[in-house]
Structure 1
Amino acid sequence: MSYESIKLTIERKIAVVTINRPESLNALNAQVFNDLENVFDNLASDKNVNCVIVTGSGEKSFVAGADIKEFSAYSSEKAKELSKRGHSVFQKIEDLNKPVIAAINGFALGGGLELALSCHIRYASENAKLGLPEVTLGLIPGYGGTQRLPKLVGKGLANEMIFSAKMITAEKAKSIGLVNEVFSLEELFSKTQELAEQIVKNSPLGIAKAIKAVNASDKENGMETEIDSFGELFSGEDFKEGVSAFLEKRKPAFN
Protein backbone atom coordinates (compact mmCIF):
# COMPACT_ATOMS: atom_id res chain seq x y z
CA MET A 1 0.00 0.00 0.00
CA SER A 2 1.26 3.50 -0.86
CA TYR A 3 0.85 6.61 1.28
CA GLU A 4 0.91 10.25 0.26
CA SER A 5 2.99 11.72 3.08
CA ILE A 6 5.01 8.79 4.39
CA LYS A 7 7.27 6.08 3.01
CA LEU A 8 7.01 2.50 4.27
CA THR A 9 9.59 -0.25 3.86
CA ILE A 10 9.55 -3.71 5.42
CA GLU A 11 12.58 -5.96 5.62
CA ARG A 12 13.53 -8.81 7.99
CA LYS A 13 10.47 -8.26 10.22
CA ILE A 14 11.28 -4.55 10.65
CA ALA A 15 9.03 -1.81 9.23
CA VAL A 16 10.46 1.67 8.66
CA VAL A 17 7.90 4.49 8.61
CA THR A 18 9.42 7.73 7.27
CA ILE A 19 7.52 11.02 7.46
CA ASN A 20 8.17 12.37 3.99
CA ARG A 21 7.48 16.11 3.77
CA PRO A 22 11.03 17.48 3.56
CA GLU A 23 9.87 20.76 2.03
CA SER A 24 8.13 21.57 5.36
CA LEU A 25 10.62 19.80 7.64
CA ASN A 26 8.15 16.90 7.86
CA ALA A 27 5.54 18.98 9.68
CA LEU A 28 2.34 17.24 10.73
CA ASN A 29 -0.82 17.98 8.80
CA ALA A 30 -4.14 16.21 8.25
CA GLN A 31 -2.67 13.98 5.55
CA VAL A 32 0.18 12.84 7.79
CA PHE A 33 -2.29 11.93 10.53
CA ASN A 34 -4.43 10.00 8.04
CA ASP A 35 -1.41 8.14 6.70
CA LEU A 36 -0.04 7.39 10.17
CA GLU A 37 -3.38 6.02 11.29
CA ASN A 38 -3.68 3.82 8.22
CA VAL A 39 -0.12 2.52 8.32
CA PHE A 40 -0.24 1.64 12.02
CA ASP A 41 -3.64 -0.04 11.61
CA ASN A 42 -2.07 -2.18 8.89
CA LEU A 43 1.15 -2.88 10.82
CA ALA A 44 -0.80 -4.08 13.85
CA SER A 45 -2.03 -7.12 11.93
CA ASP A 46 0.93 -7.60 9.59
CA LYS A 47 2.54 -10.94 10.48
CA ASN A 48 5.67 -9.94 8.54
CA VAL A 49 6.40 -7.13 11.02
CA ASN A 50 7.64 -7.51 14.60
CA CYS A 51 9.17 -4.06 15.16
CA VAL A 52 8.68 -0.54 13.75
CA ILE A 53 11.09 2.37 13.31
CA VAL A 54 9.68 5.90 12.87
CA THR A 55 11.91 8.63 11.42
CA GLY A 56 11.83 11.73 9.24
CA SER A 57 13.13 12.27 5.72
CA GLY A 58 16.30 14.27 5.20
CA GLU A 59 19.03 15.20 7.67
CA LYS A 60 17.49 18.23 9.37
CA SER A 61 14.21 17.18 10.89
CA PHE A 62 12.39 14.27 12.47
CA VAL A 63 9.14 16.23 12.62
CA ALA A 64 9.36 19.98 13.14
CA GLY A 65 5.87 20.29 14.63
CA ALA A 66 2.37 20.84 13.37
CA ASP A 67 1.61 22.65 10.13
CA ILE A 68 0.51 25.95 11.70
CA LYS A 69 -0.78 27.35 8.40
CA GLU A 70 -3.34 24.56 8.31
CA PHE A 71 -5.00 25.33 11.65
CA SER A 72 -4.26 29.02 12.32
CA ALA A 73 -7.89 30.03 11.70
CA TYR A 74 -9.56 27.15 13.60
CA SER A 75 -12.40 27.79 16.05
CA SER A 76 -12.21 26.39 19.59
CA GLU A 77 -14.42 23.44 18.64
CA LYS A 78 -12.36 22.69 15.54
CA ALA A 79 -9.21 22.91 17.65
CA LYS A 80 -10.62 20.35 20.10
CA GLU A 81 -11.28 18.00 17.21
CA LEU A 82 -7.71 18.51 16.02
CA SER A 83 -6.38 17.65 19.48
CA LYS A 84 -8.61 14.57 19.69
CA ARG A 85 -7.32 13.48 16.30
CA GLY A 86 -3.71 13.76 17.41
CA HIS A 87 -4.46 11.91 20.65
CA SER A 88 -6.22 9.12 18.79
CA VAL A 89 -3.40 8.53 16.29
CA PHE A 90 -0.58 8.76 18.82
CA GLN A 91 -2.45 6.43 21.19
CA LYS A 92 -2.55 3.86 18.39
CA ILE A 93 1.25 4.08 18.24
CA GLU A 94 1.69 3.78 22.00
CA ASP A 95 -0.73 0.83 22.14
CA LEU A 96 0.70 -1.01 19.13
CA ASN A 97 1.41 -4.64 20.00
CA LYS A 98 4.90 -4.30 18.50
CA PRO A 99 7.77 -2.09 19.70
CA VAL A 100 8.02 1.32 18.03
CA ILE A 101 11.40 3.06 18.02
CA ALA A 102 11.72 6.75 17.16
CA ALA A 103 14.94 7.57 15.28
CA ILE A 104 15.03 11.33 15.92
CA ASN A 105 17.21 12.69 13.12
CA GLY A 106 16.97 16.44 13.73
CA PHE A 107 14.24 18.78 14.98
CA ALA A 108 11.55 17.16 17.12
CA LEU A 109 9.39 20.10 18.09
CA GLY A 110 5.79 20.41 19.24
CA GLY A 111 3.75 17.65 17.65
CA GLY A 112 6.99 16.08 16.43
CA LEU A 113 8.22 15.59 19.99
CA GLU A 114 4.75 14.36 20.95
CA LEU A 115 5.00 11.77 18.16
CA ALA A 116 8.36 10.65 19.55
CA LEU A 117 6.88 10.51 23.06
CA SER A 118 4.21 8.08 21.84
CA CYS A 119 6.91 5.66 20.66
CA HIS A 120 8.19 3.04 23.08
CA ILE A 121 11.91 3.86 22.65
CA ARG A 122 13.72 6.97 21.43
CA TYR A 123 17.19 7.20 19.83
CA ALA A 124 18.46 10.60 18.69
CA SER A 125 21.22 12.03 16.52
CA GLU A 126 23.72 14.51 17.92
CA ASN A 127 22.19 17.33 15.86
CA ALA A 128 18.68 16.74 17.22
CA LYS A 129 16.86 19.56 18.99
CA LEU A 130 13.81 18.76 21.08
CA GLY A 131 11.18 21.05 22.52
CA LEU A 132 7.55 22.01 23.04
CA PRO A 133 7.21 25.63 21.83
CA GLU A 134 3.41 25.85 21.93
CA VAL A 135 3.22 28.56 24.60
CA THR A 136 5.04 30.93 22.23
CA LEU A 137 1.87 30.71 20.11
CA GLY A 138 -0.47 31.12 23.08
CA LEU A 139 -1.21 27.37 23.12
CA ILE A 140 -0.21 24.23 25.02
CA PRO A 141 0.95 20.86 23.69
CA GLY A 142 -2.23 19.27 22.40
CA TYR A 143 -1.26 15.78 21.25
CA GLY A 144 -0.39 14.24 24.62
CA GLY A 145 2.75 16.18 25.49
CA THR A 146 1.50 17.44 28.86
CA GLN A 147 0.68 13.85 29.84
CA ARG A 148 3.55 11.76 28.46
CA LEU A 149 6.49 14.09 29.11
CA PRO A 150 6.05 14.28 32.93
CA LYS A 151 5.92 10.46 33.09
CA LEU A 152 9.32 10.29 31.39
CA VAL A 153 11.24 13.15 32.97
CA GLY A 154 9.18 14.19 36.01
CA LYS A 155 6.89 17.17 36.53
CA GLY A 156 9.61 19.71 37.27
CA LEU A 157 11.61 19.15 34.09
CA ALA A 158 8.44 18.80 32.02
CA ASN A 159 7.14 22.09 33.38
CA GLU A 160 10.47 23.76 32.61
CA MET A 161 10.41 22.58 29.00
CA ILE A 162 6.75 23.47 28.46
CA PHE A 163 6.73 26.83 30.26
CA SER A 164 10.02 28.10 28.81
CA ALA A 165 9.45 26.66 25.31
CA LYS A 166 13.21 26.26 25.02
CA MET A 167 14.79 23.62 22.80
CA ILE A 168 17.19 21.16 24.38
CA THR A 169 20.04 19.20 22.83
CA ALA A 170 20.05 15.47 22.30
CA GLU A 171 22.65 15.04 25.07
CA LYS A 172 20.48 17.01 27.49
CA ALA A 173 17.49 14.90 26.45
CA LYS A 174 19.47 11.76 27.24
CA SER A 175 20.58 13.09 30.62
CA ILE A 176 16.96 13.59 31.71
CA GLY A 177 15.69 10.31 30.31
CA LEU A 178 13.82 11.75 27.35
CA VAL A 179 15.87 9.74 24.84
CA ASN A 180 17.62 6.42 25.40
CA GLU A 181 20.80 6.94 23.35
CA VAL A 182 22.52 9.57 21.21
CA PHE A 183 24.58 8.82 18.09
CA SER A 184 26.10 10.73 15.22
CA LEU A 185 23.67 11.42 12.41
CA GLU A 186 25.58 8.94 10.25
CA GLU A 187 25.23 6.19 12.87
CA LEU A 188 21.69 6.86 14.02
CA PHE A 189 19.78 4.64 11.64
CA SER A 190 22.22 1.72 11.76
CA LYS A 191 22.18 1.77 15.58
CA THR A 192 18.38 1.93 15.58
CA GLN A 193 18.32 -0.96 13.11
CA GLU A 194 20.64 -2.97 15.39
CA LEU A 195 18.25 -2.54 18.29
CA ALA A 196 15.29 -3.54 16.12
CA GLU A 197 17.14 -6.63 14.93
CA GLN A 198 17.81 -7.62 18.56
CA ILE A 199 14.15 -7.12 19.42
CA VAL A 200 12.77 -9.25 16.57
CA LYS A 201 14.76 -12.25 17.80
CA ASN A 202 12.56 -12.37 20.89
CA SER A 203 9.04 -13.63 21.53
CA PRO A 204 6.44 -11.50 19.72
CA LEU A 205 3.76 -12.65 22.17
CA GLY A 206 5.94 -11.85 25.17
CA ILE A 207 6.77 -8.40 23.81
CA ALA A 208 3.11 -7.64 23.05
CA LYS A 209 2.15 -8.52 26.62
CA ALA A 210 5.10 -6.50 27.97
CA ILE A 211 3.93 -3.42 26.05
CA LYS A 212 0.45 -3.82 27.49
CA ALA A 213 1.78 -4.22 31.04
CA VAL A 214 4.22 -1.31 30.84
CA ASN A 215 1.52 0.95 29.40
CA ALA A 216 -0.66 0.05 32.40
CA SER A 217 2.11 0.80 34.91
CA ASP A 218 0.66 4.19 35.84
CA LYS A 219 -2.92 2.93 36.08
CA GLU A 220 -4.75 1.35 39.01
CA ASN A 221 -4.85 -2.03 37.27
CA GLY A 222 -1.14 -2.10 36.43
CA MET A 223 -0.18 -4.94 38.77
CA GLU A 224 -3.25 -6.93 37.77
CA THR A 225 -2.39 -6.45 34.09
CA GLU A 226 1.11 -7.80 34.68
CA ILE A 227 -0.17 -10.82 36.64
CA ASP A 228 -2.79 -11.67 34.00
CA SER A 229 -0.34 -11.22 31.13
CA PHE A 230 2.29 -13.37 32.84
CA GLY A 231 -0.21 -16.17 33.40
CA GLU A 232 -1.71 -16.01 29.92
CA LEU A 233 1.70 -16.45 28.28
CA PHE A 234 2.14 -19.87 29.91
CA SER A 235 -0.46 -21.29 27.53
CA GLY A 236 1.18 -19.76 24.44
CA GLU A 237 3.39 -21.38 21.84
CA ASP A 238 6.19 -18.86 22.38
CA PHE A 239 6.61 -19.92 26.02
CA LYS A 240 6.77 -23.59 25.05
CA GLU A 241 9.35 -22.86 22.34
CA GLY A 242 11.38 -20.58 24.62
CA VAL A 243 11.60 -23.17 27.40
CA SER A 244 12.39 -25.99 24.97
CA ALA A 245 15.16 -23.95 23.38
CA PHE A 246 16.61 -23.10 26.81
CA LEU A 247 16.64 -26.73 27.94
CA GLU A 248 18.05 -27.91 24.61
CA LYS A 249 20.71 -25.15 24.65
CA ARG A 250 19.69 -23.70 21.29
CA LYS A 251 18.30 -20.39 20.05
CA PRO A 252 14.49 -20.20 20.06
CA ALA A 253 12.62 -20.06 16.76
CA PHE A 254 9.50 -18.06 17.49
CA ASN A 255 6.68 -18.03 14.93
Structure 2
Amino acid sequence: MAEALVTLELRGRVAWIGLNRPAKRNAINDALLAALDAAVGEAQGQARAMVVFGHGPCFCAGLDLSEHGARSAEAVFHHSRSWHAVFRRIRSGRIPAIAAIHGACVGGGLELASACHIRVADPSAIFALPEGTRGIFVGGGASVHLARILGAARMTDMMLTGRALDAAAAERAGLVTYLTEPGGAVDQAGVLAAKVAQMAPLTVLGVLQALPRIQDMAEEDGLFVESMMAALAQTGPEAQAGLAAFLEKRAAKAGES
Protein backbone atom coordinates (compact mmCIF):
# COMPACT_ATOMS: atom_id res chain seq x y z
CA MET A 1 0.00 0.00 0.00
CA ALA A 2 1.42 3.39 -1.02
CA GLU A 3 2.21 5.89 1.71
CA ALA A 4 -0.03 8.94 2.00
CA LEU A 5 1.25 11.95 0.07
CA VAL A 6 0.20 14.13 3.01
CA THR A 7 0.12 12.93 6.59
CA LEU A 8 -2.32 14.25 9.16
CA GLU A 9 -2.00 13.74 12.90
CA LEU A 10 -4.10 15.34 15.61
CA ARG A 11 -2.27 16.05 18.86
CA GLY A 12 -4.73 17.61 21.24
CA ARG A 13 -5.99 20.80 19.61
CA VAL A 14 -3.18 20.93 17.03
CA ALA A 15 -3.23 19.28 13.61
CA TRP A 16 0.14 18.25 12.15
CA ILE A 17 0.14 18.21 8.34
CA GLY A 18 3.22 16.74 6.68
CA LEU A 19 4.14 16.83 2.99
CA ASN A 20 5.27 13.28 2.28
CA ARG A 21 7.12 12.94 -1.04
CA PRO A 22 10.63 12.94 0.43
CA ALA A 23 12.21 11.24 -2.61
CA LYS A 24 10.91 14.17 -4.71
CA ARG A 25 11.85 16.75 -2.07
CA ASN A 26 8.11 17.17 -1.42
CA ALA A 27 7.56 18.74 -4.84
CA ILE A 28 3.88 19.50 -5.30
CA ASN A 29 2.07 17.54 -7.98
CA ASP A 30 -1.68 17.44 -8.54
CA ALA A 31 -2.17 14.46 -6.26
CA LEU A 32 -0.24 16.03 -3.39
CA LEU A 33 -2.16 19.31 -3.83
CA ALA A 34 -5.47 17.44 -3.57
CA ALA A 35 -4.25 15.54 -0.51
CA LEU A 36 -3.12 18.80 1.10
CA ASP A 37 -6.52 20.36 0.45
CA ALA A 38 -8.27 17.41 2.08
CA ALA A 39 -5.95 17.45 5.09
CA VAL A 40 -6.39 21.18 5.62
CA GLY A 41 -10.16 20.82 5.44
CA GLU A 42 -10.12 18.02 8.01
CA ALA A 43 -7.78 19.97 10.28
CA GLN A 44 -9.97 23.03 10.21
CA GLY A 45 -12.94 20.95 11.30
CA GLN A 46 -11.16 19.26 14.20
CA ALA A 47 -8.29 21.44 15.47
CA ARG A 48 -7.64 24.93 16.75
CA ALA A 49 -4.25 25.36 15.03
CA MET A 50 -2.17 23.52 12.45
CA VAL A 51 1.52 22.96 11.75
CA VAL A 52 2.59 22.39 8.13
CA PHE A 53 5.98 20.69 7.67
CA GLY A 54 7.92 18.52 5.25
CA HIS A 55 8.99 14.93 5.76
CA GLY A 56 12.52 14.11 4.65
CA PRO A 57 15.30 16.47 3.57
CA CYS A 58 13.34 19.69 3.08
CA PHE A 59 10.09 21.58 3.48
CA CYS A 60 9.09 21.74 -0.20
CA ALA A 61 11.00 22.11 -3.48
CA GLY A 62 8.01 23.66 -5.24
CA LEU A 63 6.06 22.70 -8.34
CA ASP A 64 6.68 19.24 -9.77
CA LEU A 65 7.84 20.37 -13.21
CA SER A 66 7.46 16.86 -14.64
CA GLU A 67 3.68 17.51 -14.75
CA HIS A 68 3.98 21.07 -16.03
CA GLY A 69 5.55 20.92 -19.47
CA ALA A 70 2.70 19.38 -21.48
CA ARG A 71 -0.03 21.76 -20.30
CA SER A 72 -1.67 24.33 -22.58
CA ALA A 73 -1.92 27.99 -21.56
CA GLU A 74 -5.56 27.45 -20.60
CA ALA A 75 -4.66 24.42 -18.50
CA VAL A 76 -1.85 26.32 -16.75
CA PHE A 77 -4.28 29.13 -15.92
CA HIS A 78 -6.78 26.77 -14.28
CA HIS A 79 -3.96 24.85 -12.58
CA SER A 80 -2.72 28.11 -11.04
CA ARG A 81 -6.23 28.91 -9.85
CA SER A 82 -6.45 25.50 -8.17
CA TRP A 83 -3.32 26.34 -6.17
CA HIS A 84 -4.87 29.67 -5.21
CA ALA A 85 -7.97 27.88 -3.93
CA VAL A 86 -6.01 25.47 -1.71
CA PHE A 87 -3.71 28.14 -0.32
CA ARG A 88 -6.70 30.43 0.27
CA ARG A 89 -8.23 27.67 2.37
CA ILE A 90 -5.13 27.88 4.58
CA ARG A 91 -4.79 31.67 4.62
CA SER A 92 -8.48 32.50 5.07
CA GLY A 93 -9.61 29.42 6.96
CA ARG A 94 -10.85 28.93 10.48
CA ILE A 95 -7.57 28.20 12.28
CA PRO A 96 -4.05 29.65 12.27
CA ALA A 97 -1.39 27.80 10.28
CA ILE A 98 2.29 27.64 11.25
CA ALA A 99 4.92 26.53 8.72
CA ALA A 100 7.91 24.63 10.15
CA ILE A 101 10.66 25.01 7.55
CA HIS A 102 13.94 23.22 7.02
CA GLY A 103 16.01 22.82 3.86
CA ALA A 104 14.61 23.97 0.53
CA CYS A 105 11.53 26.20 0.61
CA VAL A 106 11.42 27.34 -2.98
CA GLY A 107 8.92 28.22 -5.68
CA GLY A 108 5.55 26.71 -4.82
CA GLY A 109 6.93 25.65 -1.45
CA LEU A 110 7.60 29.29 -0.62
CA GLU A 111 4.09 30.13 -1.78
CA LEU A 112 2.73 27.48 0.58
CA ALA A 113 4.80 28.86 3.45
CA SER A 114 3.53 32.35 2.60
CA ALA A 115 -0.05 31.11 2.91
CA CYS A 116 0.65 30.21 6.54
CA HIS A 117 0.27 32.86 9.21
CA ILE A 118 3.55 32.22 11.04
CA ARG A 119 6.79 30.83 9.59
CA VAL A 120 9.41 29.09 11.75
CA ALA A 121 12.74 28.09 10.20
CA ASP A 122 15.98 26.49 11.26
CA PRO A 123 19.37 27.58 9.82
CA SER A 124 19.23 24.99 7.02
CA ALA A 125 16.28 26.73 5.36
CA ILE A 126 16.78 28.25 1.91
CA PHE A 127 14.17 30.47 0.24
CA ALA A 128 14.09 31.11 -3.50
CA LEU A 129 11.84 31.78 -6.49
CA PRO A 130 13.53 29.91 -9.36
CA GLU A 131 10.59 30.33 -11.74
CA GLY A 132 12.14 33.32 -13.49
CA THR A 133 15.38 31.49 -14.29
CA ARG A 134 13.31 28.60 -15.72
CA GLY A 135 11.36 30.85 -18.07
CA ILE A 136 8.07 30.61 -16.18
CA PHE A 137 6.15 32.80 -13.72
CA VAL A 138 4.88 32.22 -10.21
CA GLY A 139 1.38 30.75 -10.08
CA GLY A 140 0.57 29.95 -6.46
CA GLY A 141 -0.13 33.47 -5.22
CA ALA A 142 3.39 34.82 -4.67
CA SER A 143 2.89 37.96 -6.73
CA VAL A 144 0.21 39.07 -4.28
CA HIS A 145 0.96 37.45 -0.94
CA LEU A 146 4.72 36.95 -0.89
CA ALA A 147 5.23 40.42 -2.37
CA ARG A 148 3.32 41.87 0.56
CA ILE A 149 5.62 40.10 3.00
CA LEU A 150 8.95 40.76 1.27
CA GLY A 151 8.11 43.85 -0.77
CA ALA A 152 7.87 43.89 -4.54
CA ALA A 153 11.46 45.13 -4.98
CA ARG A 154 13.01 42.19 -3.12
CA MET A 155 10.74 39.72 -4.89
CA THR A 156 11.71 41.29 -8.24
CA ASP A 157 15.38 40.72 -7.41
CA MET A 158 14.76 37.09 -6.44
CA MET A 159 12.83 36.36 -9.64
CA LEU A 160 15.14 38.17 -12.05
CA THR A 161 18.47 37.03 -10.61
CA GLY A 162 17.60 33.73 -8.95
CA ARG A 163 18.87 35.06 -5.63
CA ALA A 164 18.21 32.77 -2.66
CA LEU A 165 17.81 33.91 0.94
CA ASP A 166 19.26 31.90 3.77
CA ALA A 167 17.31 31.67 7.01
CA ALA A 168 19.03 34.66 8.62
CA ALA A 169 18.42 36.89 5.59
CA ALA A 170 14.81 35.72 5.43
CA GLU A 171 14.34 36.64 9.07
CA ARG A 172 15.79 40.12 8.45
CA ALA A 173 13.42 40.52 5.50
CA GLY A 174 10.40 39.63 7.66
CA LEU A 175 9.69 36.35 5.88
CA VAL A 176 10.77 34.14 8.79
CA THR A 177 8.97 34.94 12.02
CA TYR A 178 11.08 32.70 14.27
CA LEU A 179 14.62 31.43 13.63
CA THR A 180 15.56 28.38 15.71
CA GLU A 181 18.64 26.32 16.44
CA PRO A 182 19.50 23.55 13.92
CA GLY A 183 16.69 21.02 13.70
CA GLY A 184 14.45 23.04 15.98
CA ALA A 185 11.77 24.36 13.62
CA VAL A 186 9.22 21.60 14.17
CA ASP A 187 9.51 21.72 17.96
CA GLN A 188 9.22 25.51 18.04
CA ALA A 189 6.23 25.40 15.70
CA GLY A 190 4.58 22.91 18.05
CA VAL A 191 5.10 25.19 21.04
CA LEU A 192 3.60 28.12 19.15
CA ALA A 193 0.68 26.08 17.83
CA ALA A 194 -0.20 24.87 21.32
CA LYS A 195 -0.22 28.48 22.52
CA VAL A 196 -2.25 29.73 19.55
CA ALA A 197 -4.77 26.92 20.03
CA GLN A 198 -5.71 28.45 23.40
CA MET A 199 -6.67 31.81 21.87
CA ALA A 200 -10.29 32.98 22.06
CA PRO A 201 -12.11 32.08 18.83
CA LEU A 202 -13.36 35.62 18.27
CA THR A 203 -9.83 36.99 18.58
CA VAL A 204 -8.60 34.41 16.07
CA LEU A 205 -11.44 35.33 13.74
CA GLY A 206 -10.40 38.98 13.91
CA VAL A 207 -6.74 38.23 13.25
CA LEU A 208 -7.36 35.82 10.36
CA GLN A 209 -10.35 37.50 8.72
CA ALA A 210 -10.44 41.20 9.63
CA LEU A 211 -6.75 42.09 9.80
CA PRO A 212 -5.86 41.09 6.21
CA ARG A 213 -8.87 42.97 4.87
CA ILE A 214 -8.06 46.08 6.88
CA GLN A 215 -4.70 46.28 5.07
CA ASP A 216 -6.58 46.82 1.80
CA MET A 217 -8.96 49.45 3.15
CA ALA A 218 -8.80 53.22 3.33
CA GLU A 219 -7.71 54.44 6.75
CA GLU A 220 -11.15 55.38 8.08
CA ASP A 221 -12.73 52.19 6.76
CA GLY A 222 -9.99 50.14 8.39
CA LEU A 223 -10.41 51.89 11.71
CA PHE A 224 -14.17 51.35 11.54
CA VAL A 225 -13.73 47.60 11.00
CA GLU A 226 -11.17 47.51 13.82
CA SER A 227 -13.71 49.08 16.20
CA MET A 228 -16.41 46.66 15.12
CA MET A 229 -14.08 43.72 15.64
CA ALA A 230 -13.01 45.06 19.04
CA ALA A 231 -16.66 45.37 20.10
CA LEU A 232 -17.37 41.82 18.99
CA ALA A 233 -14.30 40.24 20.58
CA GLN A 234 -14.27 42.15 23.85
CA THR A 235 -17.86 41.26 24.70
CA GLY A 236 -17.33 37.54 24.17
CA PRO A 237 -17.19 35.09 27.10
CA GLU A 238 -13.48 34.31 26.61
CA ALA A 239 -12.61 38.01 26.77
CA GLN A 240 -14.61 38.48 29.94
CA ALA A 241 -12.85 35.53 31.57
CA GLY A 242 -9.44 36.75 30.40
CA LEU A 243 -10.00 40.28 31.67
CA ALA A 244 -11.16 38.96 35.02
CA ALA A 245 -8.07 36.76 35.31
CA PHE A 246 -5.84 39.76 34.57
CA LEU A 247 -7.57 42.05 37.07
CA GLU A 248 -7.39 39.36 39.73
CA LYS A 249 -3.69 38.86 38.96
CA ARG A 250 -4.23 35.25 37.87
CA ALA A 251 -2.97 35.83 34.32
CA ALA A 252 0.62 36.11 33.09
CA LYS A 253 1.83 39.61 32.33
CA ALA A 254 2.65 40.66 28.78
CA GLY A 255 5.89 39.02 27.66
CA GLU A 256 5.60 36.15 30.13
CA SER A 257 4.80 32.62 28.98
TM-score relative to the length of structure 2: 0.90
Give the Å deviation of 1:178.
Answer: 1.0
User: Partners of 1:89 and 1:82 in 2: how far apart?
Assistant: 11
Which residue number in structure 2 is paired with residue 237 of structure 1? Answer: 237
Q: Is the 8 A contact 2:6 2:39 kept in 1?
A: no
User: Partners of 1:219 and 1:72 in 2: how far apart?
Assistant: 36
1:136 to 133, 136, 143: 133
Q: Counterpart of 2:175 in 1: which secondary structure?
A: coil
Letter in 2 for 1:43: A
Per-residue displacement from partner, 1:199-221 (whole Å, max 9, x unpaired)?
22332321222221221132125
Q: Is the 8 A contact 1:4 1:31 kept in 2?
A: no
Give the Å deviation of 1:63.
Answer: 0.6
Q: Counterpart of 1:142 in 2: which secondary structure?
A: coil
Trace 1:157-196 onto structure 2 (pairs within 5 A): 157-196=154-193
User: Partners of 1:201 and 1:134 in 2: how far apart?
Assistant: 39
Q: Counterpart of 1:242 in 2: which secondary structure?
A: helix
Per-residue displacement from partner, 1:1-52 (whole Å, max 9, x unpaired)?
xx93111111131111000010100010111111121122222222xx2111
Which stretch of the first structure deviates more once superposed, 196-205 or 169-178? 196-205
TM-score relative to the length of structure 1: 0.90
Which residue number in structure 2 is paired with residue 56 of structure 1? Answer: 54
2:111 to 92, 114, 134: 114
Q: Counterpart of 1:206 in 2: which secondary structure?
A: helix
Letter in 1 for 2:64: D
Q: Counterpart of 1:216 in 2: which secondary structure?
A: helix
Q: Is the 8 A contact 2:80 2:140 kept in 1?
A: yes
Give the Å deviation of 1:222.
Answer: 3.7
Which stretch of the first structure deviates more once superposed, 229-238 or 111-120? 229-238
Which residue number in structure 2 is paired with residue 23 of structure 1? Answer: 23
2:96 to 99, 118, 123: 99
Q: Is the 8 A contact 1:99 1:120 kept in 2?
A: yes
User: Partners of 1:42 and 1:135 in 2: how far apart?
Assistant: 35
Q: Is the 8 A contact 1:206 1:238 kept in 2?
A: no
Give the Å deviation of 1:251.
Answer: 4.7
Give the Å deviation of 1:151.
Answer: 0.9
Q: Is the 8 A contact 2:44 2:95 kept in 1?
A: yes
Which residue number in structure 2 is paired with residue 36 of structure 1? Answer: 36
- Residue correspondences, number: 247
Letter in 1 for 2:34: N
User: Partners of 1:21 and 1:229 in 2: how far apart?
Assistant: 41
Percent identical pairs in the alignment equals: 30
Point out where structure 1 has 5 or more consecutive residues left out of the alignment: none
Over 3 Å counting, the alpha-carbon distance change for 1:73 and 1:219 in structure 2 is same
User: Partners of 1:146 and 1:108 in 2: how far apart?
Assistant: 16
Which stretch of the first structure deviates more once superposed, 193-202 or 96-105? 193-202
Give the Å deviation of 1:166.
Answer: 2.1
Give the Å deviation of 1:94.
Answer: 0.6
RMSD: 1.8
Q: Counterpart of 1:16 in 2: which secondary structure?
A: strand
Q: Counterpart of 1:185 in 2: which secondary structure?
A: coil
User: Partners of 2:223 and 2:69 in 1: how far apart?
Assistant: 43
2:212 to 209, 215, 220: 215
Per-residue displacement from partner, 1:86-132 (whole Å, max 9, x unpaired)?
11111111112221111011101110000000100111111111111
Q: Is the 8 A contact 2:17 2:51 kept in 1?
A: yes
User: Partners of 1:185 and 1:124 in 2: how far apart?
Assistant: 9
Which residue number in structure 2 is paired with residue 153 of structure 1? Answer: 150
Q: Counterpart of 2:59 in 1: which secondary structure?
A: strand
Letter in 2 for 1:175: R
Q: Is the 8 A contact 2:100 2:186 kept in 1?
A: yes
